[in-house]
Amino acid sequence: MTDTPKRILVVDDESSITEFVGYALKKEGYDADVVGNGEDALALAKKNQYDLFILDIMLPGMDGYELCRRLRSFTAAPVLFLSARDTELDKVVGLEIGADDYLAKPFGVRELIARVHALLRRGSGGDFPAANHAITAGGITLDEDAHTAKGDKGPLDLTPREFELLASLMKHAGNVVSREELLRDAWGWEYLTETKTVDTHIKRLRDKIEQAGYDPGLVETVRGYGYRFRQ
């Protein structure tokens, strides 16, 4: 019995892009759907269960930022932005509203596929060692095998990236973890990204911790060094 292929939704109003990306993904064995606007993409996302979303920012009607916000209201599947807008501000905005990665146009197919592989691997918990079961700190238990984080107040609704950041921090609870270490643990060495990306995701992680009823101060900032999870 073969595994069901991962399902990916590609959203871009340039047909040449959707055809190129859709073909590349299908060649890699993925089940790829393509659509040209945010409204149709949202409808498909509510109807089907996708493992990954690849979104352009400049879409007709609902733009990629708004689409990402709406997706985040009901799915934690990874979001990869593809965009010709390549300023630092564009990247920060995308990450702050819930994206997991950002790839500027023009891009190479090998780089795109590498990003997709990494996001899906992390989303499935594939990078976590099976022998490591659960970590408890600050009233939260993080189970790497089940890929869950919860406590007496209920579960935390985390994206794969947020889960990996929390895992890295909780494994070193009481000790400072540098931004570089967090980049390595949550993004992997294949990512060349800025440490400011960590700050953006830590803010989102704190928000999720607070939304679930826990103390966002569990994740402490240690100025000039990084972050520490309070025991």
Domains and CATH numbers, the chain: 7-123 (3.40.50.2300), 134-229 (1.10.10.10)
pLDDT of residue 129: 35
Q: What is the pLDDT of residue 114?
A: 85
Q: How far apart are CA 47 and CA 27, in angstroms?
A: 25
pLDDT at 123: 57
- Mutual angle of helices 196-211 and 160-171, in 10-degree steps: 90
Q: DSSP string of 114-127?
A: HHHHHHHHHHTTTT
Q: Which residue has the tokens 């918990």?
A: 125
| Main-chain phi, psi angles of 78, to 5 degrees | -60, 145
Phi, psi (degrees; rounded to nearest 5) at 156: -100, 130
Confidence at residue 143, expressed as pLDDT on a 0 to 100 scale: 87
Residue by residue, pLDDT tens for the chain (231 residues) are 346 889 999 999 998 889 889 988 998 899 999 999 999 999 999 999 999 999 998 899 999 999 999 999 899 899 999 887 666 666 667 777 778 888 888 888 888 888 898 888 765 544 333 334 588 999 999 987 778 899 999 999 988 888 889 988 998 899 999 988 888 777 764 454 566 788 988 999 999 999 999 999 999 999 989 999 998
User: What are the residue ranges of helices labelled H in the chain?
Assistant: 15-27, 38-47, 64-72, 88-96, 109-123, 160-171, 179-186, 196-211
pTM flag (> 0.85): no
pLDDT at residue 85, rounded to an integer: 67
Tokens of 77: 């599947």
- Cα 70 from Cα 44, distance rounded (Å): 13
**Is 113 exposed, middle or buried, given 0-12, 13-18 or 19+ CB atoms closer than 10 A?**
middle
Task: Please give the pLDDT value at position 1.
Answer: 39
Q: What pLDDT does 190 receive?
A: 47
